[in-house]
Chain A
């Protein structure tokens, strides 16, 4: 039987703070976590295997369902990988719109993150404020492609349709609103004494250790490693944009929080540049009617709000569906760090740390 000094507590898969269906089995000494076991797989839908039986265009729709709070970014990542495999040229206008959509999506995803993260630590007002702004972004997406959550908003070689007239003005208007709203969140949290006590020094991870664990995105940058796919291996129109990559110093929950708050601002900066500079031109490149990439394999990564989202695709060059389709989901890799992070902390910190890694279980399990 169990050691009498330790309490084994099963947290999840039905638990209000595990962000979906994550299960964490905790071994507790009082309230202190001695060890833990992270169990995933409750949302597995076999997207990778399913993709092998769909044609190349149909897979875009499946990628929506992975990181469902940042569907457009998944679409972009997939389409660019196929374009890379087929060496397709994407028109500049399409690349600009993709950049704008990606950054809008990043803000929407970060809104959801700041809301739920604050909610886990007990500040429930931020949650509703953040959802209020996320709604504005969903409205913009609805106007662009008709959907609000799973957009199916990209096509191989470009965009399915051009942006509606007046849309760019609405985006700029949104940027103006969002500027003040970010200050509002920060006012409630950044210098709040309780918030500082709850996040400072919690779940510290050093830069080299974070790299060794395979973390990416804000959890990696919070530890001081300036790795951002948008900067290091630019895709879409990021090579034409001016923006900074914020990094943290301490590598604790608070720094990860600050990094994401700054990313809000940088995203707005990119959206402004992109919207003001959308070039005229076609929205789809020269794409053959039947998409059939040449035999070969390729890996392409983009920066999703959670971290480095990579696609690895193998094509046999004969059929109209991929031979092998593999995703490197940032949430899955970041979740690797959870066990290390929560060791020695209290139960209350466990939920704070799950929140600070910002995992989406749809992406972890696929």
Chain B
């Protein structure tokens, strides 16, 4: 009874809340890091060093007037932000934050569930989010959002091919689709997959930037061209849902990258006995640190680079990343066969 219902429910509540807090603080982190990169201070007014800014933002967005354009498709307009937000949150169901640990005399695994098709689940759920963007652009009945959502769908679909192909090469290495087993495979293999699959790692990272609509691939919401992109017509909490979904997706991408390529919760050099003293740090801390590194790079890239043009981005995706990913997959397969 407890193992079947109470613990999973508790885990869901904790992960969901932690994610939402993480997402809102990710926004603050981004504003702060970019501000430092640009020799500014960033938010400083709400709380010491602006740490209560996310709270103020949430309150502001909630009390804003919620406008639905007269000519919008009301139902789709309402559904779009939800369709965009929900997949970003439920992906966390399979992300392992740590191995089994004993809590109050019980063996508890630090993931909500460990399904044997975990990676497939991540890929398929994450790709549902694009419907939110397409529907938002269509339902707004306005030209800029329409253009932006057309760009978004083309971009997301083409980059998903490249990203998924890199995931296949990881699966070839690990021999499993379960997220927990992939981490275990890195422990048994004595090396993080980022080092044996550098090409897949790089392609995955670039693809992740594009899939989460982040700079330099933030085409769908290119503020300077399309005045805000697909969410131009949205206001208040509905806009906030799109906004949060974007950051939730960034965190998902970082977590998946950590799990697949940087050994998840494993400490550095997990098999070197000399570093065993690092064991006093809880495993989930390593996971958070590694994810944080990814998040930081996401922000750093945004502060540094200009934006690609839409056609250049598609060219990069189809002519560079996808062939690279396929070649990497073929080579991985051949090497794997030759070694076994």
Contact = CB atoms under 8 A, between A and B. Distances in A.
Per DSSP, chain A at the interface is helix
Contact of B227 (A16, A120, A350): A16
B227 to A, nearest CB: 6
Contact of B308 (A120, A189, A194): A194
A122 B307 contact: yes
A329 B37 CA distance: 37
B75 to A, nearest CB: 25
B227 A194 contact: no
Interface residues of A, number: 30
B305 interface: yes
B285 to A, nearest CB: 32
Interface stretch (B167-175, B309-317, B326-334): B309-317
A318 interface: no
B4 interface: no
Interface string A104-123: 00000000000000111111
Contacts of B303: 124-125
Given A7-B143, A122-B218, A16 B309 contact: no
A351 B305 contact: no
Contacts of A119: 224
A129 interface: yes
B87 interface: no
B225 A198 contact: no
B225 A132 contact: no
Given A31-B147, A194-B308, A348-B309, A122 B222 contact: yes
B104 to A, nearest CB: 49
Interface in B295-311: 303-311
B305 A194 contact: yes
A346 B40 CA distance: 33
B188 interface: no
B224 A195 contact: no
A348 B223 CA distance: 11
Interface string B224-235: 111100000000
Given A122-B216, A347-B225, 13 more contacts: A7-B143, A16-B224, A31-B310, A119-B224, A121-B224, A122-B305, A123-B307, A132-B39, A192-B305, A194-B306, A194-B308, A350-B225, A351-B224
Interface of A: 7, 9, 15-17, 31, 118-125, 128-129, 132, 188-189, 192, 194-195, 197-198, 346-351
Interface of B: 34, 37-40, 143-144, 147, 151, 215-216, 218, 222-227, 303-312
For the complex of A and B, the 6 pairs showing the least CB-CB separation, nearest first, are: A122-B307, A123-B306, A128-B38, A17-B224, A122-B306, A121-B306
